[in-house]
């Protein structure tokens, strides 16, 4: 499932190697875990991807700045970043996973007043 954070597809993000100038580390979709419990969205991903998201400013360092996240074919939604937690006991394929916690920003319904 394709996931975009602030317009950047997670599986398109590349991290450069410092000791292999032409090499790039990619993060395939199957390494991304999605957990939804309204209004909380949790994304589990390799720690190197989290670092690269911050380096590319896809994840803002300002906690109060909204983040646009699109999951699959769903409409893009606005979230605020809550927390990041490292997973300690995980299967081998998920070693080094970090879970990012986001809360959806709900739009307030606008009602027309009768005059």
- When divided into structural domains, the chain yields a total of 1
Q: What is the mean pLDDT of residues 11-26?
A: 82
Boundaries of domain holding 44: 3-104
Structure tokens at 59: 């994840």
Provide the phi-psi class of 61: left if phi over 0, else alpha when psi is between -120 and 50, else beta: alpha
Which helix (H) or strand (E) element contains residue 55?
helix 47-55
Residue 63 counted as domain residue: yes
Residue 111 counted as domain residue: no
The pTM assigned to this predicted structure is: 0.80
Tens digits of residue pLDDT in 44-82: 998 888 988 988 888 887 878 899 999 999 999 999 999
């Amino acid at each position: 499932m394709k996931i975009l954070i602030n317009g950047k597809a997670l599986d398109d993000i590349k991290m450069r190697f410092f000791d292999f100038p032409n090499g790039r580390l990619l993060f395939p979709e199957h390494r991304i875990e999605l957990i939804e419990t309204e209004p909380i969205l949790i994304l589990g991903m390799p720690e190197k991807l989290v670092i690269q998201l911050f380096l590319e400013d896809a994840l803002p360092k300002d906690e109060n700045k909204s983040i646009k996240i699109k999951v699959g074919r769903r409409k893009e939604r606005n979230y605020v970043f809550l927390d990041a937690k490292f997973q300690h006991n995980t299967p081998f394929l998920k070693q080094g996973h970090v879970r990012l916690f986001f809360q959806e920003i709900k739009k307030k319904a606008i009602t027309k007043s009768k005059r």
